[in-house]
Structure 1
Amino acid sequence: MPARSSSGLILTVLLLLGFAGQSAHASITIRVQLSTQTMLVAVDGAAYATWPVSTARRGYRTPTGTYRPYSLQRMHYSKLYDFTPMPYSIFFHGGYAIHGTFEVRNLGRPVSHGCIRLAPERAQSLFELIQAQGPQNTTIEISP
């Protein structure tokens, strides 16, 4: 009978214990405060970024509550609003998403139809962070 290598034995033990194939992923918490039009991002509880956002203007609503991203799309075009480009879309509730906007002059004010808008480079950073760590490890909290 051939001798087992020590690395093979370690792999067998890890498989039996259920550890193989699991990689460590950080937890991401995204907190959007509608009253201040700000987004705070934390990674494993440590502050990562604070950014201005634009949420729903009068007559529209940004849903409040706690969500997980269910779809990430590098480029999405709104079917409701004249195929407006929505770069780095992170969908979290129905048709609502966090996404980049080219109307950066309006960040910090409620001007959207309900989505949460970010500067394009910040939307890209957030999108890539969620992609790397996994949507299942991401929580989006939206409060009044």
Structure 2
Amino acid sequence: MNARVPFHLLLAVLFAGSAADRAGASIAVRIQLSQQTMNVAVDGADFATWPVSTARRGYRTPPGSYQPYSLQRMHYSRLYDYTPMPYSIFFRGGYAIHGTTEIRNLGRPVSHGCVRLSPENARSLFGLVQSHGPRNTTIEIVE
């Protein structure tokens, strides 16, 4: 007997397998406040190290371990004059990792508490978290 699998079913099975593999991968984001850097690892392998901007004097970026609870491709801060926050990954209350147009300030603490990234890096991180899933993502903020 010659059993043939239709091509579209074969593609569906292959795609489902690769999607399941991606969803099982873990994303570890580590933000080091003293260095103003973010390290990203996928399944324990280094993916990227990027400069960030976190809270300036008088504000706070909360140290701790978190999981993303909301991803928004474009968010506008109601608290700060509807400032655009592209590729927002919210991890605690109103705190998020997001893109910024103030790339000249990356590497220095200048935010109100959010973690700012260049738009390109924010888009990359957003895509990783979106494809692998917020449940498979940890965000660790250390002094």
2:136 alignment partner AA: N
CA distance in 2, matches of 1:126, 1:23: 19
Aligned residue for 2:98, secondary structure, equals strand
Establish whether residue 91 from structure 1 lines up as the match of residue 96 from structure 2: no
CA distance in 2, matches of 1:128, 1:38: 19
Who is 1:34 aligned against? Answer: 33
2:63 alignment partner AA: T
CA distance in 1, matches of 2:80, 2:137: 27
1:26-82 CA distances to partner (integer Å, 9 max, x unpaired)?
Answer: 100000000000000000000000000000000000000000000000000001000
Establish whether residue 100 from structure 1 lines up as the match of residue 72 from structure 2: no
CA distance in 2, matches of 1:143, 1:52: 15
User: Could you state the TM-score of these two structures normalised by the residue count of structure 1?
Assistant: 0.85
Q: Going by fraction, where is helix more abundant, 1 or 2?
A: 2
Establish whether residue 137 from structure 1 lines up as the match of residue 140 from structure 2: no
CA distance in 2, matches of 1:115, 1:141: 13
Q: Displacement of 1:23 after TM fit? A: 1.5
CA distance in 1, matches of 2:93, 2:135: 17
User: Could you state the TM-score of these two structures normalised by the residue count of structure 2?
Assistant: 0.85
Structure 1, unaligned runs of 5 or more:
8-19
Who is 1:55 aligned against? Answer: 54
Give the superposed CA RMSD.
Answer: 1.4
1:72 alignment partner AA: L
Structure 2, unaligned runs of 5 or more:
6-16
Aligned residue for 1:23, secondary structure, equals helix
2:71 alignment partner AA: L
Who is 2:20 aligned against? Answer: 23
Higher Cα Rg, which structure = 1
Percent identity among equivalent residues?
74
1:23 alignment partner AA: A
Aligned residue for 1:35, secondary structure, equals coil
Which stretches of structure 1, 4 residues or more, deviate above 3 A after TM superposition? none
